[in-house]
Amino acid sequence: MRGMAASLGGAGWDVLGWNYRGCGGIPNRLLRSYHSGETGDVGRVVARAARDYGRIALVGFSLGGNMALKYIGEAGRHPAVGAVAAISAPVDLASSARALDERRGNRLYLRRFLGTLVAKTVAKAARFPGPLEAARVRRIRSIRAFDEEVTARLHGFAGAEDYWERASAGPHLAGLEVPSLLLNALNDPLLDAPSFPVEAAEANRHFFLEAPAHGGHVSFHDFRRGVRPWHEGRVVAFLEEQVPGRGDALG
C-alpha cells in the first residue's frame, strides 16, 4: 500500500489509505469485524472522501481487491468513483479458500493467515464472552473452519459456503459499469481458475482482465527498472487513462 501510494503521489494523485476493522493496530471495539464482502465500510470511506473530491479511484490488494470490485458492482455505489484497480484479488472466495487449505505449497500462507486471524479472534472472545468460544477458535486449522466458526457466525451468513458465495465479486463483474482492472498472475498460489474471469472481461467493455504469467501474490517485480513493482506503474497508467484529471485514490 505504501509503495502504491508513493507511485500515485508521484503522478499527482492524493492518496487515502484505510485499515480494516482491527487491522490498524487498534482493537476493534465491536463484536463484528471485517470480511471479504464488507462493502458498507468501503461506502462510508468513499462518501467521506467525496466531500472533498469529485473524482475517486479505488485500488485494492488481495481481499481488498475483491471488496472494491464487489462494491462498484452493487447498487448504491457512489457516483464519484470513476475507476477501480484490483491486484491479486480472489474474486471467487470458495476456490481460493480451497487453494489455501488444500495445496501443500500454501502451508506457509495458511499458517500465517490463521495465526493472525485466530489470535485476534481469541482476544475478541475474551471481550465478548458467549458468541465466541476461545477454546474452539484455538482448534481452527483451516480457512473453511475459520469462516464457518467465526466469519459466518459474526456477520450473519448461514455458513462458510454461504459467505463465500455472497461475498465474492465474481458474479458482479459482467455487469460493472465503472472501468475496472483486475490484475491476477497466473502463478498466484492463492488463486484458481474462477479468479481469472475471461468470459466476463470479454462480455463487458468496462472490465479489463490482465493475467501475466508471473507475479505470484502481489509480487509483480520488474527488475529491469530496479526494485519498483511493475503493478504500481500499470495501475497508475490505467487510472490516468480512465479518470480525467486527478482524483483521490483509496487504498
Contact 194, 87 (CB under 8 A): no
Residues carrying CATH 3.40.50.1820, the chain: 2-92+169-250
The class (CATH top level) of 2-92+169-250 is alpha beta
**Which amino acids are annotated catalytic?**
62, 188, 217
pLDDT reading at 251 higher than 70: no
Identify the band that residue 225 occupies on the pLDDT scale cut at 50, 70 and 90: low
Rounded distance between C-alpha atoms, residue 91 and residue 169, angstroms? 5
pLDDT reading at 49 higher than 80: yes
Angle 119-169-165 from CA coordinates, rounded to 5° = 70
Q: What is the pLDDT of residue 228?
A: 79
Q: Count of CB atoms within 10 A of residue 42's CB?
A: 23
Q: What does the pLDDT look like over 58-109, one tens digit per residue?
A: 999 999 999 999 999 998 899 999 999 999 999 999 999 999 999 999 999 9
Contact 191, 168 (CB under 8 A): no
Q: What is the pLDDT of residue 223?
A: 73
Contact 70, 164 (CB under 8 A): no
- Average pLDDT in the 216-228 region? 81
- CB contact set of 103 (below 8 Å; sequence gap of 6+): 189
66 closest CA partner among 142, 201, 164, 162: 164
Rounded distance between C-alpha atoms, residue 126 and residue 133, angstroms? 9
Q: b/e per residue, 120-137, with b = 16+ CB within 10 A?
A: bbbebbeeeeeebeeeeb
> What strands lie across the sheet with 81-87, from one edge to the other?
14-16, 248-250, 56-61, 81-87, 180-183, 207-210
- For the chain, count helices (H), then strands (E): 11, 6
pLDDT reading at 243 higher than 80: yes
Which is more confident, 188 or 131?
A: 188
Which single residue is written with the C-alpha cell 465479486? 169
- Average pLDDT in the 184-208 region? 97
Q: What does the pLDDT look like over 124-137, one tens digit per residue?
A: 999 888 888 999 99
